[in-house]
Structure 1
């Protein structure tokens, strides 16, 4: 069984994170080739400038398995978080590593980071059709927060979720 280690990403991880993010988003139908959001997924340097990029790696091989971007209110990447909240975005797991607990490990690392910073909750959004992600977050204790639902494009419906801390 693969041991998963979550740590802050380094610039050496950026290319792998960008590539796996695009592959994951394409794989579950969130984007397709030449979708404008893919440039944001690939630009890990910009994500790192606006938040904390965490990476999940295989302890034995060092292979990058997934990543997530953790942000606080006021970050140019924050879409939902308000005072006292944290947010994570662009959680992506390599298609080859899906189903092995990588996404949960990344989400739990964000919850832990928010707790360290004294946040009262963590907010996220998930695509309306992302049943696997919604099941994972429900199992972890995230609650539906319909007041956070939004749509950046007519064909994109994002559902808000909140995880209360402490």
Structure 2
């Protein structure tokens, strides 16, 4: 079992740029995932991920390594109307959402992705919500398997297409 050498907390504005760069790096390296030239608006959103925290009930969580570097991050949506995806997910009530999970290549395998996901689940529980919703793709199979192992269930009604990319919905009931 990997030793947890990281701290999970809300990102500080001074960490937004580093976090955005990490997200662009992680998503651009996914084999089969659309590249920046094909999906410029998405990558701009990733690069400026801190802007999402200006919306109500949106939190950017980071995992900090021993040198206080951003090793991973995720965006938690306490209000699904702010979730920003296609499909029916933004209309879900009594639910929280998780998007944009990213862990630096050098820090993978240490449980950072799982710890960030668990922190989001805990926030949803503390808010008295009934479920957590997320989306993933076949290009993110490591995360997909992690989510299923944590108890997330496929929810086909939440699926949508982003261009040619099939995006798959999942629910975790609290």
TM-score by length of 2: 0.87
Aligned equivalent of 1:127? 137
Aligned equivalent of 1:69? 75
Query: Structure 1 CA distance, aligned partners of 2:30 and 2:140?
Result: 8
Question: How far has the Cα of 1:76 moved from its partner?
Answer: 5.7
Report the number of matched residues: 163
TM-score by length of 1: 0.91
Summarize deviations over 1:58-102 as a string: whole Å, max 9, x none. Answer: 1x2111101111112222636525110000111111111112111
Residue aligned with 2:82, SS: coil
Residue aligned with 1:105, SS: helix
Query: Structure 1 CA distance, aligned partners of 2:136 and 2:97?
Result: 12
Residues 38 and 148 of structure 1, relative CA distance in 2, 3 Å threshold: same
The runs of at least 4 aligned residues of structure 1 exceeding 4 Å deviation read none
Question: How far has the Cα of 1:22 moved from its partner?
Answer: 0.6
The answer to whether structure 1 residue 106 and structure 2 residue 111 are counterparts is no
Aligned equivalent of 1:97? 107
Residue aligned with 2:68, SS: coil
Task: Kindly report the root-mean-square deviation, in angstroms, between the aligned alpha carbons of the 2 structures.
Answer: 1.5
Aligned equivalent of 2:35? 32
Question: How far has the Cα of 1:128 moved from its partner?
Answer: 2.6
Aligned equivalent of 1:3? 5
Task: Tell me which of 19, 37, 60 is aligned to 1:53.
Answer: 60
5+ residue gaps, structure 2: none
